[in-house]
Structure 1
Amino acid sequence: MNFKDINIGLMLHKRALECEIEMSRLCKFFGCSEQDILDMYTVKSLDCEILLKWSRILEYDFFRIYTQNLILYSPPSAIITNDKESSQMPYFRKNIYTKEVINFILELIESGEKTKNQIIEEYNIPKTTLYKWIEKNRK
């Protein structure tokens, strides 16, 4: 799922239905009208503060959808920059994969959707890392 494929409004709506949260509760929580909530269900992206509120009320980390996407589709860390010390921003290593990302990659291989070589090239996952995941998955 690329950024262009993420439709956060649709995901919010699905999760709200799963949680069976009444519209009146959502309106009160957000301090808005029912139409405002329905409008949020139709947008492809939302302001971070609003998404954080949705994450709280629906008890789901919607930001993780974006961070996992970054992990999969960003260029390798070494190519980006070597001046991490000069940046004032926190540095996050790219090679920290969540269970969800690992499972997603393994499902692509098991389903035959992608080959091991395609995974290595497309997602910049080291060959040894991929084979460790496959071996652990077999146990």
Structure 2
Amino acid sequence: MNLKDIHIGSLVKAKAEELGVPATRIMNFFNCTEAEIQEMYDQESIDTKKLLRWSKLLHFDFFRIYTGHLILYSPPSKTDRAIKLESSMLEFRKSVYTEEVKCFILNKILSGQMTTTEVLTKYKIPKTTLYKWIKKA
């Protein structure tokens, strides 16, 4: 999956086809016609309310795709670093790395496109996390 250029409509369509959800069920769920469903499949971006409904219908978090994009392609902001320095309390942090992100990073390393040092520097992934992924691969 290409996380740089996200065409959410085609991803929704692929998931619906993968699960074999009948078109009539989708039309009843959204209360719309088959042409309107096809129009949603053709859209590069979908309204968040509709995307939330797709996530519920297909039991898949489509918003995580955008989270993966942010992790990989957005530069760290100066305010984030300043907040981290000011905070002295430890915070519980749930894993924000999706399987797609893990696969993307591991493919870069295993194909020789990047070294582990380059990945650590570019994507700011904790060293222990990266080495656990490599060990499991």
Check whether TM > 0.5.
yes
Note if 1:109 corresponds to 2:109: yes
Output the amino acid matched with 1:42. Answer: D
**Runs of 5+ unmatched residues, structure 2:** 85-91
Q: Which runs of 4+ in 1 moved over 6 A?
A: none
Q: Which residue of 2 aligns with 1:137?
A: 136
CA gap of 1:33–1:99, structure 2 versus 1, over 3 A, is closer
Residue 40 of structure 2 aligns with an amino acid whose one-letter code is: M
Q: What TM-score, normalized to structure 2? A: 0.76
Residue aligning to 2:88: none
Corresponding position of 2:45: 45
- The CA deviation at 1:25 is 1.2
Q: Is the 8 A contact 1:75 1:124 kept in 2?
A: no
- Cα drift, residue 133 of structure 1: 3.8
Change (3 A) 1:83 1:64: same
Q: What's 2:97 paired with?
A: 98
Moved more, 28-37 or 98-107: 98-107
| SS of residue in 2 equivalent to 1:41 | helix
Contact residue 23 and residue 34 of structure 1 kept, 8 A: yes
Partner of 2:27: 27
Q: Using the TM superposition, give the Cα deviation of residue 127 of structure 1 relative to its aligned residue in structure 2, in angstroms.
A: 4.7
Deviations 1:67-87 (A, max 9, x none): 11112222236x343358xxx
CA contact (8 A) 1:76 1:124 kept: no
The residue number in structure 2 matching 1:62 is 62
Give the Cα separation in 1 of the matches to 2:98 and 2:31: 36
* TM-superposed deviation, 1:59: 1.1
Query: Structure 2 counterpart of 1:104, which letter?
Result: F
TM-score for both structures, normalised by structure 1: 0.75
CA RMSD after TM alignment? 2.8
Inter-partner Cα distance in structure 1 for 2:29 and 2:128: 47
1:64 and 1:108, CA in 2 relative to 1: closer, same or farther beyond 3 A?
Answer: same
